[in-house]
Structure 1
Amino acid sequence: PQRFTELVQYCYSTTSMQVLWNGEALESFKPSRGIRQGDPLSPYIFVVMKIPETYSSTSIYLRSFILPLVEETHADLLSSIRTVSKSPISQISRIRETKNHQSPSDLFYQITVLKKRGLAYEPVVGDLIAVTNVRPKCINDLNNHCLIAFVHRASNFCITILSSKLITTLDQNKEIRFVVYLTNLNTNIRIWRSLNSELEGGNMKIIDKVLQVHSSDCDACVECLGKENCNGSNSDIRGKISRSDLNDSQRDAVLSCISLRECHHQNSVKLIWGPPGTGKTKTVSLMLSCLLKLKCRTLTCAPTNVAVLEVAKRVLVQVRKNESGGYGSYGLGDIVLFGNAKRMNMDDPHNELRDVFLDYRVRALGKCLEGWKHSLASIIFLLKDPRRQFLKYLNQTKEKKNMKNEQDIATPWTFEDSQNEGIKRELYGFKHNEGGDGCFSRLRLAIKECLNVLKLLPKKFCVEGTLRDFCLANACLIFCTVSSSAKLHLKGMSPIELLVIDEAAQLKECEATIPLQLRGVRHLILIGDERQLPAMVQSKVLNVIKMHPSISLFPNTEFYNSEILDAQNVKETVYGISLFPQMMYSSYSFINMPLGKEEFDDNHSQRNMIEASVVSEIVKLLHEEYVRTNKKITVGIISPYKAQVCAIEEKVKRHIGVSQNGGFEVNVGSVDGFQGGEADVIIMSTVRCNNKGSIGFLSDTRRVNVALTRARHCLWILGSGTTLLNSESVWKKLVIDAKKRGCFYNAQEDKSLAKALLYSLIELNEVNDLQNVHSSLFSDAIWKVRFSDEFWYTLRRVGNRETCEQVFYILQKLLNGWRENHKKKMFVYKGLSSQLLEQYEVNGSLSLFWTVDVMQENLHCIQVIMVWAILPHSDIYSIAKRLDIVYRNYTTLTIDQCKYKCVQGNVVIPMWWPEEDSCKCSEVDDGMLSKSLACLEIADDTEAMPKNPLSRMQQLNQWFQKLWRGRN
């Protein structure tokens, strides 16, 4: 409509507004048809305020993020819907209305989904799902057959949903119904509640401090400066810090941060800055262990699970190392980590963080308290009616006696009477000696108090949620993601004193408002490096780097202007680890992958299956080295594309399985997923391989910085050197730097990687590239080898990897002088080729066919092995007949040279003769035999050879192809 267009154009013309159309800023607004309210697939428009540099109030600051949050949620949903055919899905077995169902607003339904193989999706709270009658294969299926719902509760495949539309009885009686995962809204809902001040606590002190235009980051508390905290506890802490292996700047950072605990006069924000590997996490772990000893209630959070787990592990190491120093009598009870158990890999029994993980702690306490319930009830009954309990005891005693002796039936009654008389005498004497009813009144009062306490205990610890709140409320150190910190906004929750945010540069600013509003937070400590991902704050503190110098050299020069210093310990030779003798596996190397093939998966994400195969082979070698030496090693595999991450994970599982036994740990993830993490060995797969130098978002220098700085000892980068050199990005500089430093290697130079390349090319049907790989496989063999084109063709047709591995295992032995012990002739044929042709069995149905031939090399004739094909056993007669045509044109001397066998011990070695001392050798490629083959006419059962002058290899290759096709 005209008025709507005028309104939008007015908003665009103002300096305080900006128009977003389909998520992109407009330079000019042109109205379009087709806008549908609430439809994520239709064009949409937002008129949003331009985010200012200063704010007059905290409410304006919070409101400025609301519409961008809506836009981000819309974009997430749109991305999920576009790939709905690949979304997790489960089949519904039952739908019914809940007690809270009220049309038309509260459309609550209970759904039971089937536990069925292949449909393993189990909805969780916060999931946005599509409920549909068909399994969606495209977007149109959602338009015609679905409604959107939000998962409100979930437990054991039984979920409660809030539906966007009424589900009629007719709908419920449909034969099949599915739930399809779209996205999870938990984080965005928590941010929304935080921005709208709906969270319990509403603490705005830190936010208000940051928004003050004239506030100085260096303003120190005057009152705290005027008095040094010199009590015994602080003296112990300072002694511990001085004895640590931190450098001066790191010690100052720890002292400065823990001093905040004593300041109640003002709010402050501190920043610990440093590039990757400079000891930030080490500094923070010592700081947190000191705060634990001071009983300072501190929340430590980060944007990702990886970063949270890394900090928690370091703190746990510090605490366990200093347990004798006295952290209290409760061990690790003052430390709590909570979050998603599956994403944090808490199901692994070797995970050292299980001792502090909240779910396991609650489960352990629950078992203890469940054991008390019966005992508590028994004690309450005893105190309420002791006579009845005593009689019950006597009856039980009587039954036991009856079982022993049926003749003493009357005895228990006599026993009871005598006992009652004895008790009466004791009580009378007690009453007389104690002076009346005073003692009994005190006893009745004590019993009443005990009963009140005993009745209260089951109510205090009756449900799991109460135990969770109890653990969280009494912990000194709490670890979680920034989003999960919303669970600490509870009534009655003990206030948090200090907030520590690790990897702050990676955090969305609006998400940070969740923990900042926690009740009691007085001070904020940020840790991060804005040069990796978008920064929230800026400051610099000189730290000492701990990566191996060869790894840190390029990032230090490229990203930090060589300002970072190498610590003395990393300069020492013993710091590095030597895994393999090859230089390719030194501390830093670029492994060139010229034969890689980039492609899109079904979700339009890039992958490179050849690179994935090589990466998995390297992991296999590392695992074999771990098994041999039993030395603990952690391996991280990084790729910028999700499809490549999935491909590598699948291949690694195939090679070494999925077990993580603590000694050998492998983590595969994206660049963002590794922010804040590190490993002994990092393998990076760059994926891209094209002639144009197109590398997409791989050119983002911040992500490059993150990827290159995750390794402690070894960093191996896999990629196409040509593609990266043509990219005109930071990767061009990296490849040039690697070549200058002698760290540039081709994957084919390593035999194991060459085999992985070979098998991968065979699987991908890339026959033309096979011959570029095999030369490195047998470079140090005794015999030289030549392959017919048909060998690669038949090898590809074989298909499975096991057979290919067996073929090259046989070839490896052949070229190093091994021969089968022929006790009897495998075939009988009168032709000349029967004296030369060898048939070695590969498996039950296929054989490797090869001969010894001679070739000219450096004015000599030398024996070589000629590999012809991999074919069924029965084809040997046809092959022999064809080769017989060739060998009829050999001279007698050449035939003798082919047949000559020189044996040294158990090894057959190739012979050579000076060219002048022998007749003209037959050439394996094209040569003398071409003319002879052209004029041959065969009159027997073989087909006539063509008249055109083709080489022997061409003739035989054409025939082998015909032979193979005839069998298929």
Structure 2
Amino acid sequence: MQRLWEVKEKKEKKERIIKGRDLVDVVFSWSVRDVLNSKLYKGKVDKIPNTFQSSKEYFKSFVNPIIEETHAALLSSMETLRRAPAFKVWEIKPAKDFKPPKNLYYEVTLQTVSDNTTKGDGKLLEFNDLIAVTDNKPCRIDDLRCSNEPYLLALVCGVNEDNPHLITILASKPIVFEEGHMETRKKGKGVKKSLSLFCVYLTNMMTNIRIWTALHPDPEGGNLKLISKVLKSHNEVGGESCVSCQENSENIMPNHIEKRLRSFKLNTSQEEAILRCLEAKNCRHSNNIKLIWGPPGTGKTKTTSVLLLNLFKMRCRTLTCAPTNIAVLEVASRVVKLVSESLRLGGYGLGDIVLFGNKERMKIDDREDLFDVFLDYRVDELYDCFQALTGWRANVQRMISLLTDPKEVYRQSFIENDKRRPSFKKFVEKRFSKLRTDLRSQFSTLCLHLPTASLSFQVAEKMNATNGLLRAMKVSDVVRVSGKEDTRKQDCVEMLGSICESIELPDFIGKFGLQRLCLENAYLMFCTASSSAKCVKRSATALDDLAKLQSNKLLSFENSIWKVLLTNEFLKSLETIIDSEINKRVMSVLEKISNGKFQQDSKSENLFRQEDIDDGLSLIWTVDIIKKQNHYLQVLKIWHVLPSSDVSCAEKCLEKHYKRYTRVKIERCRYICSQGNVVVPMRWPVKSCLKNDMISDVSRSFALLSVLDEAEETMEDEECVDD
């Protein structure tokens, strides 16, 4: 189950408390008549003042407005009750935390979608959904009855991660198990009884509960310095100004920025607000806070959008947060539109903008204007470009081969005298057309979605020019042997080669790695306030142990008997790990296998070994051979740490590497020497000839190589053996 509630120690007993419980209790207290009364809070909500004397007064002024907003959302859902998703209850029983009269927790099993015959039930219930528990699927307000109770609300406070149809709810009233409302069915030995009930979705209280929690901070643990500084700055006419910056003429705002601001036709107060924020950004003497405020309709969103555009032009990394998804989407949409209008090369540059959040709650599928900056969509698009066998680099190499020597590509693609072999011209036409389509699509994706830190403007121009050359090229140009007059094909080959050399990203990157690449290099990030912590977590630095890995290609753990050779691919995939606990597990696995604690299977044909790590990650490694002075010796070669679903693709890529090895070297890699339950590394004299008698030469090899004594030697003394 998800961790859904805070735990407090009180009189040596653990009491589970739901966040925002006071707000939930207020909602539970409303009758049907209260909910339908649109004037319930008329005269009870005071106008929020422009200034506040204290943070306590500030928080208090928003309490009734958030209650009124919650009431309005529930009233709106009642007006569309007939179309509300409803779920039939399969089983319901009191939870372990059930404790009347307040803690009325129930465990509920809902029918699966395939079993559910009611319409409109495609939605799954989520954490903090407010639901009505009813005897029947309601079509109108009068149908909101449950066991003679006219109105029974519940809050979803738990959803099983493995089975979303198993939920825990907090009910507003006890659910009475009356015999007249029971269905009976056999289950194993005996009889299982359950109510004929429905859970009807009304609204989600997640955002309002978060706001409520923020309005009631812990007086002992809450940090109110930020709020106090904002209130102080707002109460002081003219706000704070840095004396040092005022005296320094170098901090005067450049003319081109003021000229850019005038192009947006801002009024004086809007322009002044932006200039003050930009001045605060340039100040290095203090941490400044600027508040853009004003009543509805005064252009706060426009002002914020223009401010963010200028920060983007100044290459200032900025995180933009809002309490609701609607607010985040509105600001992001305006900024993306402004940035798009100023781009010089199609969508190049949008890769520096990231929208981050829950796809379903944001309803991104309805916001086509934000597809290009939404993180999940971007990662999916880039993931196809960084596949080892079908990615952009592999396709570039195929295109170069086809343009350079199409006859050789044709010869290698088919067995001699194959009757199914197409004609040379048809083969080239089909292969060229496919590669051209793939490359043009992948180049466009890279230009649109990669951050500018990973793809320079010059390389993007080359990709754009190459797309033009490929579009203009005909099959006859590919088939024809190049002459002095035929420069188009040669220009395309040179351009493709230059693009490959200019991009230092690896051939294969997993989705975790792409997420981190996008977030760490973005200049503008948009998300809800609750998601901002995840952004920070994803951009956090690695553990000290992993920093050690980054700086050492050859690793020796304390008391280990194997040397561990780290590949560039592994070091790059290592950067995709964002969870400190997973980092520790990676280190633990490396330490385990470096001590020879891995499977002893000398008969296995597979060179690749896989060690599972939590959260669906796997470590890919092999036993390899390096040359050390006058000997060949076995080492552990670490290739990747990546999602388990990507393992097969990575192994196919590695197969190409090991095809260059001779049979003898492959046998050396596979050879297992064990002492008890521990596998120990082997070494062979360089002058020994293993081609004719592998077994006899092995018997003359040194049995156990202690790596610990040689740990001080640098990597310069070793070299990988490539046949």
The TM-score by the shorter chain falls in which range? 0.3 to 0.5
TM-score of the superposition, structure 1-length normalised?
Answer: 0.31
TM-score of the superposition, structure 2-length normalised?
Answer: 0.40
Q: Larger C-alpha radius of gyration, 1 or 2? A: 1
